């Protein structure tokens, strides 16, 4: 993946005839259209049949619900929730539930499409889905959060289930939210194994060992496999991270555990830096206690507070975005000083940002590969729930590593076979599987 092997920039943005055929606008700033464009670009190279391209360009189902919830002050508030089911050719829809004040239909559609690609790339028998509620969970009390979750489950109960659509945590949701989710569904449904309706549950309530760290661990598994291609190994290499929530903190801790240095971290509260490497475990504890990285510079662990601009400019081997979508814009990419970007978050790089990185010779390992560890262990959790088993952590870690390494190799293979960048190669490797399944199944009637 050295500079010389980065492929030439892509064809015209949104150049696929599918855009016209389906009446989709060519809005370069729309995240969903950008995502479909990248997918269709890969589909054209792979010569994926037209029928599969049009199916994958739009989600199968888009559900929006409004539901009232009694707040602590006695007042009722109306919430808006989404569940988008992108594709289920490979198995039940699978994908997280996000609680965030900026959640909107296009974001959820984008994330559901990425889930279809991710599941296919790591070869687990799931399709892609995603959901969310437009709310700020930080402003809700625990009781309000629980009531919002329970009302949302009751609103979408008819379209989810252990055999049809299995949600999971995402930004703003966690194992506790999944426990309320499962409990509500179990009350409503008479299905056997009803607790398998969600993954990412607490261990005591059917969760899998290793699920919490799985996405961060998957990022590290992929990097351990692919870094040697550019003459690096994690031991002694440096990284910076945007986001120190579930994914970012685990990626940071596991990177440090393997002898890498976490030089800089930025989240919604600020940015910090240590030339010799931040103490990843102490930082995790600080974030849990204080809600963000700000203030870590005042602790005994040694760090300097830095500006956002300095954070992006910090010289590192690997830059790991693990926060929200679209953070690496053209301007931010111009500041960046790294050899490789590993997308731990979903869709963190804008097309304009990616072009700048390509021009600089910076390779981008796409989210459908790097961040697939979470859904992979979610699949293990679902298997355990349905077969009444508990796997030990060693088994989970080994199986996760096997899936991630094979997926990374699949992407490398597609890259060499088609002479494309890593994002296109990852889409090709994912689409190949879906294309084969459609060929076998045919299209009803």
Give the single-character DSSP code of 421: -
**Of 240 and 424, which has the nearer Cβ to ligand NAD?**
240
Residue 411's nearest CA partner among 373, 351, 369, 357 is 369
The CA distance from 124 to 379, in Å, is: 7
**Of 247 and 422, which has the nearer Cβ to ligand NAD?**
247
**Of 36 and 368, which has the nearer Cβ to ligand NAD?**
368
Identify the residue among 43, 84, 251, 322 touching ligand NAD (CB under 6 A).
322
350 binds ligand NAD (CB under 6 A): no
Q: What are 157's two structure tokens?
A: 């109960």
349 binds ligand NAD (CB under 6 A): no
Identify the residue among 117, 124, 323, 422 touching ligand NAD (CB under 6 A).
323
Q: Which residue is nearest to ligand NAD (CB)?
A: 245
The CA distance from 340 to 237, in Å, is: 11
Kind of pairing, strands 76-87 and 363-365? unpaired
Q: Measuring CA to CA, how many Å separate 387 from each of 181, 192, 206, 378, 384?
A: 21, 11, 11, 14, 5
**β strands within 163-306, DSSP E:** 165-169, 238-242, 261-267, 270-273, 304-306
42 binds ligand NAD (CB under 6 A): no
Identify the residue among 346, 350, 376, 385 touching ligand NAD (CB under 6 A).
346
Segment near ligand NAD (CB under 6 A); pick from 55-63, 74-82, 141-149, 240-248: 240-248
**Of 146 and 377, which has the nearer Cβ to ligand NAD?**
377
Beta carbons of 63 and 80 less than 8 angstroms apart: no
Segment near ligand NAD (CB under 6 A); pick from 41-49, 67-75, 339-347, 395-403: 339-347
**Of 148 and 322, which has the nearer Cβ to ligand NAD?**
322
**Of 345 and 357, which has the nearer Cβ to ligand NAD?**
345
Torsion over CA: 97, 346, 259, 312 (sign): negative
In the shown chain, the binding pattern of residues 282 to 311 toward ligand NAD, with x for contact by CB under 6 A and - for none, equals ----------x-------------------
Active site residue 130: yes
Shortest distance (Å) from residue 183 CB to ligand NAD: 21
Kind of pairing, strands 93-100 and 165-169? parallel
* Locus of tokens 């970007």: 341
128 membership: H or E segment, kind and range:
strand 128-134
The one catalytic residue among 94, 130, 253, 263: 130
Shortest distance (Å) from residue 130 CB to ligand NAD: 9
Shortest distance (Å) from residue 271 CB to ligand NAD: 8
Q: What are 164's two structure tokens?
A: 């049809």
Q: Measuring CA to CA, how many Å separate 70 from each of 41, 141, 145, 380?
A: 47, 12, 11, 36
**β strands within 229-352, DSSP E:** 238-242, 261-267, 270-273, 304-306, 318-321, 340-342
345 binds ligand NAD (CB under 6 A): yes
Shortest distance (Å) from residue 381 CB to ligand NAD: 12
Footprint (CB under 6 A) of ligand NAD, residues 154-173: 169-172
268 binds ligand NAD (CB under 6 A): yes
Binding residues for ligand NAD, total number by CB under 6 A: 24
Shortest distance (Å) from residue 355 CB to ligand NAD: 21
**Of 32 and 244, which has the nearer Cβ to ligand NAD?**
244
In the shown chain, the binding pattern of residues 357 to 396 toward ligand NAD, with x for contact by CB under 6 A and - for none, equals --------------x--x----------------------
Identify the residue among 113, 145, 239, 266 touching ligand NAD (CB under 6 A).
266
Q: Examine residue 445 and say whether the peptide bond preceding it is cis (omega within 30 degrees of 0).
A: yes
Identify the residue among 85, 112, 208, 215 touching ligand NAD (CB under 6 A).
215
Cα 23 to chain centroid, rounded: 28
The sheet that has 261-267: what strands, in order across it?
304-306, 270-273, 261-267, 238-242, 318-321, 340-342, 363-365
Catalytic residues: 130
**Binding interface with ligand NAD (CB under 6 A):** 169-172, 215, 242-248, 266-268, 292, 322-324, 344-346, 371, 374
């Amino acid at each position: 993946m050295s500079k010389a092997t980065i492929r030439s920039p892509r064809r015209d943005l949104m150049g696929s005839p599918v855009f016209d055929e389906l009446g989709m606008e060519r809005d370069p700033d729309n995240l969903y259209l950008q995502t479909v464009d990248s997918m269709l670009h890969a589909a054209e190279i792979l010569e994926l049949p037209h029928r599969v391209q049009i199916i994958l360009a739009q989600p199968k189902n888009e559900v929006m619900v409004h539901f009232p919830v009694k707040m602590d002050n006695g007042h009722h508030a109306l919430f808006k929730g989404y569940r988008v089911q992108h594709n289920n050719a490979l198995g039940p829809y699978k994908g997280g539930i996000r609680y965030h004040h900026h959640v909107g239909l296009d974001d959820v559609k984008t994330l559901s499409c990425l889930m279809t690609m991710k599941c296919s790339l790591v070869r687990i028998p799931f399709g892609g889905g995603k959901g969310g509620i437009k709310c700020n969970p930080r402003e809700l009390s625990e009781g309000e959060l629980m009531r919002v979750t329970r009302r949302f489950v009751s609103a979408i109960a008819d379209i989810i289930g252990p055999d049809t659509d299995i949600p999971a945590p995402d930004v703003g949701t966690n194992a506790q939210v999944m426990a309320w989710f499962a409990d509500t569904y179990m009350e409503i449904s008479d299905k056997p194994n009803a607790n398998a309706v969600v993954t990412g549950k607490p261990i005591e309530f059917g969760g899998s060992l290793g699920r919490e760290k799985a996405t961060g661990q998957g990022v590290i598994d992929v990097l351990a496999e692919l870094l040697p291609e550019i003459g690096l190994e994690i031991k002694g290499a440096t990284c910076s991270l945007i986001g120190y929530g579930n994914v970012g903190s685990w990626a940071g801790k596991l990177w440090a555990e393997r002898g890498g240095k976490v030089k800089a971290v930025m989240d919604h509260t600020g940015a910090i830096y240590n030339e010799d490497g931040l103490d990843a475990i102490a930082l995790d504890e600080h974030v849990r206690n204080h809600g963000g990285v700000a203030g870590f510079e005042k602790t005994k662990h040694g760090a300097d507070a830095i500006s956002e601009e300095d954070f992006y400019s910090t010289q590192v081997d690997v830059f790991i975005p693990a926060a929200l979508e679209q953070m690496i814009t053209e301007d931010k990419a111009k500041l960046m000083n790294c050899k490789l970007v590993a997308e731990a978050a979903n869709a963190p790089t804008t097309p304009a940002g990616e072009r700048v990185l390509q021009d600089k010779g910076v390779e981008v390992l796409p989210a459908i590969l790097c961040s697939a560890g979470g859904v992979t262990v979610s699949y293990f959790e679902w298997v355990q729930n349905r077969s009444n088993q508990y796997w030990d952590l060693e088994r989970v870690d080994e199986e996760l590593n096997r899936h991630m390494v094979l997926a990374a190799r699949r992407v490398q293979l597609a890259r060499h076979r088609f002479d494309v960048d890593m994002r296109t190669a990852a889409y090709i490797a994912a689409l190949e599987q879906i294309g084969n399944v459609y060929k076998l199944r045919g299209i009803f009637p």
